[in-house]
Amino acid sequence: MGRFLYWMNVSLDLRIEQVPGDDGAGEWLRIDEELHREFNARARRLAAMVQGRVIYETMEEYWPRAREDASLPQVMREYGHIWTDAPKVLVSRTRDRADHHTRIFGGDDAIDQLAALRAGTDGTIGVGGATIATQLLRAGLLDELLLFTHPSILGFGRPLFDDYDRPIDLDLVEQRSFSQGVTMHHYTIRETIPC
């Protein structure tokens, strides 16, 4: 059985975007070559990626072209290949086709489809997007969090989870510091604590 891992860049106050539409690409992020190499290494080990429509469309717009863009650093061109070649699932009610090794799950049974994907996968499935991560958490299917915390307090913006109001008990399984003050914390979800 696979494991769903919600992987996200966050601010110290657990915001993932400062203004609607920045799609996690705000100026508050401190992604240098060292951190990008870590992203690449971890992404390469994923069995699959599951992304909500907004994150998928942001990635789809940039990373396939990045593979061959000689003006970009090698580490970014490498991630372009990793993302494009990885098996992916796009969770969307509005899209009916996608390229780059992508299947689409949608409709009222998307969570059931994701549960079946998890059951039939050997390895870690990366999750991108607050909406889908929140839905997986509510369904008891989210297994791990991988948070790269950037030393910024945004004060407002989109939170790590959408309208989730139940306590969650976590176990820290790994942590690391990177240059520019970024820290990585990897947690397993022990259980949702009843209110």
Contact 147, 161 (CB under 8 A): no
Which two three-digit tokens encode residue 58?
């942001």
Q: Could you give the domains of the chain?
A: 3-179 (3.40.430.10)
pLDDT values of the chain reduced to their tens digit, one per residue, 195 residues: 999 999 999 999 999 987 655 554 578 999 999 999 999 999 999 999 999 998 999 899 999 999 999 999 999 999 999 999 999 999 999 999 999 999 999 888 999 999 999 999 999 999 999 999 999 999 999 999 999 999 999 998 889 998 888 888 999 999 999 999 999 999 999 865 554
| Cα-based angle 38, 41, 47 (whole degrees, multiple of 5) | 130
The dihedral region occupied by 40, where left means phi > 0, alpha psi between -120 and 50, and beta the remainder, is alpha
H/E element, 163:
none
DSSP 194: P
DSSP 181: G
Q: Could you give the C-alpha distances from 4 to 23, 39, 68, 155, in angstroms and in order? A: 21, 17, 30, 28
